[in-house]
Amino acid sequence: MFGDFKINERRPTYLQLKEYLKRQILNGILQSGERLPSTRELATILQLGRNTVILAYQDLEEEGFIYTVRGQGSFVAEVTVKQGETTSLSWPAMLTPQAVSASQLDIEKTELKWERGMLSFKSIAPDGGLFETEDFKKAFLDRFTLEGEKLLNYGYAKGYKPLLEYLINYLKNKGVDPEGKDLIITNGFTEGLNLVLAGICQPGDGIVTENPTHNTALKIMKLRKLKIFGIRMEEEGLNLKQLAETLSTQAVKAGFLIPSYHNPTGLVMSPEKRIEVLKLFSRYQVPIIEDGFNEELRYSGSHVAPLLALSGKGNNVVYIGSFSKILFPGLRIGWVMGDADLIAALESIKRSMNIHTTFLDQALLYEYLQNGSFEKYLRRARNLYRQRHQAAVRLASELIPHQRIWGEGGLHIFVELAEGINARQVLAECYRRGVLFMPGDLFYTDGGGKNTFRLGIARVTEEQMARGFALIGQVISEFEEVKDA
């Protein structure tokens, strides 16, 4: 007895002893009514300080696992752990169709996985090596010292007030008129889009998107059973004629657009086109959901205002923002800005979903933004990513036989192969040779894009790109030879 008690360095010993004894009781090894060794005896047996044993016994008594009889010692209490028969339900059969679809559309489950030693261009997550953790630590210490207790208790669904104010100001600096609008903090872009869609779209409703578009957005729309109308992305961006036709002939509840550094093509919608797009949606009184994705990652050219700014005093644009794509995705903080009536409804939906987003993270992000650390980081990140992006475009153009290399910014480029080359077959072969990327069809609304793929470049060096792209190019050449033969 007690021979199997082992100590782990990182946890207080008395807790380990308490938990060990609990399990002995719950497993019936120490039985109810049984007398425990005295604290002195047990300390000797286990070679622990007597105080350790005393603390463990105190806690066990406090939690109702043992009781003390004065002058006689400590005894195991009556603890019910007995179960009736074992009940086995078939959970897969109980799942809702929505739950089944969520698994089927979950690319973490369905797509090829990175394995140790592989070179991956799959992710567009930022390079953690750029994170200035010392600045973040400072932000924590400054902010937590100021109001730690408050941050650890309940907050508000709309968000942490200084962050709300900061973000409204931040959007004013992009030319947004905040009059009549409001802002809510969300658990990243993904929750933001879910909230907006829950607010205004029901199953069967129509939604207009770019084709291709952000695959997670597409997944969310499919899970919400929306009818998706994809508008072709061409060399000059969105095909306005198709957009006008769709808006005039279809019942459309909303548009979802990524005007800057579009995912996956990397295109930036020109100011003139932005104005045209706004006019078209206005004519049909259809609101636009604008994904502000990677807007900070401009590498060249003039500032282009978001649609939310260009809509001026209008209330027809809902903007979803997030710093996650370039700064701290682990924190999961995004926001939605739009008409105040809409935001008020989203606040109630958010409260019903998860009460509010963590106040600690909101406060730390606020401090980090407010004290200038973000701008400092952004300058470094932008420079590095600009270099990687330029190198990626150059290397891909050289090494990968292509019809077109897309991409004006962001953390990825998009490759369009010659018609008839299947990117999934190319991927399967590259994977065998240790290189991974994202097949392009995932981004298409209509099953198209079979000859496309996306290359994420945030976490790879130029040398890795050269090596990986050369391999991809080699595999494609082999496919082309077969095709031509």
**Residue whose CB is less far from a copy of itself, 191 or 441:** 191
Which residues are 456's β-sheet partners?
412
Kindly state the smallest distance separating residue 429's Cβ from a copy of itself, in Å.
27
Are 102 and 223 within 8 A, CB to CB? yes
Residue 430 DSSP SS3: helix
**Residue whose CB is less far from a copy of itself, 63 or 234:** 63
Query: How many Cα atoms sit within 13 Å of 448 on the Cβ side?
Result: 13
**Residue whose CB is less far from a copy of itself, 306 or 450:** 306
Could you write out the DSSP letters of every residue in 352-388? HHHSS--HHHHHHHHHHHHTTHHHHHHHHHHHHHHHH
Kindly state the smallest distance separating residue 300's Cβ from a copy of itself, in Å.
8
**Residue whose CB is less far from a copy of itself, 186 or 263:** 186
CA angle 390, 395, 397 (to 5 degrees): 100
d(CA 455, CA 469): 9
**Residue whose CB is less far from a copy of itself, 370 or 474:** 370
Kindly state the smallest distance separating residue 172's Cβ from a copy of itself, in Å.
7
Of 293, 295, 294, 290, nearest in space to 255 by CA: 290
**Residue whose CB is less far from a copy of itself, 364 or 476:** 364
d(CA 167, CA 314): 19
Kindly state the smallest distance separating residue 377's Cβ from a copy of itself, in Å.
11
**Residue whose CB is less far from a copy of itself, 9 or 484:** 9
Helix (H) or strand (E) holding 288: strand 288-291
Kindly state the smallest distance separating residue 183's Cβ from a copy of itself, in Å.
15
Kindly state the smallest distance separating residue 185's Cβ from a copy of itself, in Å.
12
Kindly state the smallest distance separating residue 288's Cβ from a copy of itself, in Å.
10
Regarding beta strands 227-234 and 206-211, do their DSSP bridges make them parallel or antiparallel, or are they unpaired? parallel
Dihedral sign computed on CA atoms, order 41, 45, 50, 54: negative
What are 17's two structure tokens? 């002893």
Regarding beta strands 73-76 and 206-211, do their DSSP bridges make them parallel or antiparallel, or are they unpaired? unpaired
